[in-house]
Homo-oligomer: A and B are copies of this chain.
Amino acid sequence: MEVRIPKRTLAEGLSILERIIPNRSSNPILTYLPIELSDTGLTLRGTNGEVDIEVRLPAEIQGSGQVLVPAQTFSQIVRSAPGELVELIFGQGSEGVKGAGAGATGERLELHSGAFNTQLSTTSPDGYPELSFSQPGTEKIAASRLAQAITRVRYAASTEEYRAIFRGVQLEMSPNGLRSVASDGFRLARYDLPLQLQTRKLVIPARSADEIVRVFKDAQGEVAFAVGEGSLTLVGESVRMAVKLMEGEFPDYARVIPQSFVLEATLAAEALRESLKRVAVLSDRNNHRVNLLFNDGKLDIDAEGDYGRGREELSIDSSGEPQLMVAYNAQYLIDALAPIEGAVRIKLSGPTSPSVVQAVEDTGYLAVVVPLRV
């Protein structure tokens, strides 16, 4: 069993797995990295119990088989390898490395790169959990678009234990497209991607959703997928990923999205975001309250807390009521604006009922923010 592989290819493969393979675990075998050699290339795997990942790398290979190596140590060694090429030789004993002495029993992996030689103890793959990936159908999504759909709404997912299903991101597939939704009860984010898909709903734990984004956001090509028993399998060009799904689905959230508005205002999202950040420095540290006074072509933003008061005025285009005052948690409004480039439209349904935040250009994105009570 021998492998020759560019250091960079191997390091990139490991970087996909590194974040999910635990450094410590009550099940220590999970801290190991299964390496499999076969005709089709080098396969690396890892799991944290919630997310399984498998990476296939092209390599020059002789022989076939599977071993476990200590994941963290192996990654460190590969990253620090001095040569452009890394050679892996799996076997018994110590031949090939001059002077390998003490402890030279059992199975081992030799790694050669430039003048640097390493022998790593390896372990039998027996006892490593079976990673199960479902067989995907023919439906596909561009990898970067899938990541985008999650990223746009992820911020609104709840971090509170008691919020149950709202700690996830819901994906709704249908012949109309892919809709992603997240909410924590005080705000909601929704993103629509036009696509033709079979109808199904699933909820991905927010942390696993982050891993999907991390793996696929810069990936080329498309992702095929399969929804199995309680898990979603995603198959990209060189990566397979299975994430455990949450049970159940979001209760009817559409009813919190207001349909009629008393005032609509348009302005540059970036200017509003920066202004909110400045003014919020002075806001009350408990509720981060900022007051927005929409007033005849002007938006007055102000906040007051223990240390004083901040205020800034922006120009807006507005229609509807001439004047309206609404108070928000500044951070919620800043989060809702984050995915928006260019102009934002803020649609108010009243001083205490939910407001809608939408990009003027990217009509797929919609956020709802519930105002603070006056």
Residues of A within 8 A of B (CB): 70, 73, 76-77, 80-82, 97-100, 102-103, 108-109, 115-121, 274-275, 277-279, 281-282, 300, 302, 304, 306-314
Contacts and interface: CB of A to CB of B under 8 A. Distances in A.
A118 B308 CA distance: 7
Given A82-B278, A115-B314, A117-B310, 14 more contacts: A77-B278, A80-B277, A80-B278, A82-B274, A99-B311, A100-B311, A103-B309, A115-B275, A115-B312, A116-B310, A117-B312, A118-B311, A120-B307, A120-B308
A274 to B, nearest CB: 7
B121 A308 contact: yes
B82 A119 contact: no
A82 B278 CA distance: 8
A70 B307 contact: yes
As for how many copies of this chain the complex holds, the number is: 2
Nearest to A118: B310
Contacts of A300: 99
Given A278-B81, A281-B80, A73 B307 contact: yes
Contact of A121 (B275, B278, B307): B307
Contact of A275 (B102, B108, B116, B282): B116
A312 B114 CA distance: 9
Nearest to A315: B115
A89 to B, nearest CB: 13
Most-contacted residue by chain B among A70, A80, A278, A304 (CB, 10 A): A278
Contacts of A308: 73, 108-109, 118-121
Given A304-B102, A304-B103, A77 B274 contact: no
A42 to B, nearest CB: 19
Contact of A278 (B98, B109, B116): B116
A109 B300 CA distance: 21
Nearest to A110: B308
